[in-house]
Amino acid sequence: MLRGAGAGWAPTTGRVDGRPARRDTGRAHEQCRAGAAVRVLHPGLMMLACAGSSQPAARGNSVDMLARPDPASGQPPTERPEPPSGPDGLSDPRALTILTTEHLGLQTARSLVYNEAFARSGMFLTFVSATLVALGFVAQGGALGPAVPLIAGVLLAVDLFLGVATLGRVVAATTEEIAALQGMARLRHAYVELVPGVAPYLSTAHHDDFASVISAYGSRPGGVRSAQSAVHGLTTAGGMVSVIDAVIAGALVGVVVMGLGAELTVSALFGLGAGVLTMGMLVVATVRVFAAQERTLEARFPRNGPAD
């Protein structure tokens, strides 16, 4: 039971779940010097709050709760106001912590896919190097004779398979990285909404459209399909693996043609044509993957103009 005491509330005797409530009015008044102490009965628990104090009035097994009496009625508040939601939710003091935590998670994800792409590329190059060393020993031995083209063809076919598989994983990792970059661009947009003055100091885009996102790779927004972007693509891990795959495919076709009894010049021409055709097919397949991602990525905060 609660009894009014002056300007606030003071605890008297009461019952909680059929048990007598503990009387400690003197302690409550001693700890709540600036205001009145209020004992709130809660199922199975005693909750004590001090009006006008930032320190809890009771410790131990009880649950402490801060409450300020309503100036009009003298009653302690029963509900805490809900934090703002929607776009205004950024005014919540917890928003910045949540955003920075999400930013850290996206940076970690991007680092993982980046490292995986380089690890897969390194494994592929190691296997190609081992194949070339093995073919060198086989050719120098000379004992195998007619079996050398067959051995070379088998090893090159395995290399080509590993190369295509590596390229597929590198391209998939790049699409995952672009998705992470888009998420970080959205977070930077939230930072700009929180503090508009920081926009000129951001080194990367705070818009999440595809052109703005890939500007992190050095491409200018609006020039996604330019010749500069095509040349830049050849310098990436995927472009390097594509070139190596094309060379292996050409060498494999040349070895097969030579094994069928063709002259060296004819074999070289067939190998060159196969290499160029393979390179073209890989480039087209890669461009289609990124074009599909460009169509499916949802831009929530796109760039509106050059000055944006």
Neighbours of 303 (CB within 10 A): 18
**Residue-range domain boundaries for the chain:** 2-64, 96-289
* Cβ pair 208, 214 in contact under 8 A: no
Examine the pLDDT at 29 and tell me if it is beyond 70: no
Question: 141-160 as b/e, with b when 16 or more CB fall inside 10 Å?
Answer: eeeeeeebbeebbebbeebb
The tokens describing 20, both together, are 């007598």
Is the per-residue pLDDT at 9 higher than 70? no
Taking a C-beta distance cutoff of 8 angstroms, is the pair 185, 206 a contact?
A: yes
Nearest-angstrom CA–CA distance, 76 and 188: 41
Cβ of 72: how many Cβ atoms within 10 Å?
6
Per-residue model confidence as pLDDT tens digits over 236-279: 889 999 999 999 999 999 999 988 888 989 999 999 999 999 99
Q: Would you say residue 58 has pLDDT above 80?
A: no
Tell me the C-alpha distance between 45 and 62, whole Å: 6
**Which tokens is 29 given?**
């008044």
Q: Which amino acid is at 122?
A: G
0.85 exceeded by pTM: no
Q: pLDDT band for position 155 (50/70/90)?
A: very high
**Res 228: pLDDT:** 65
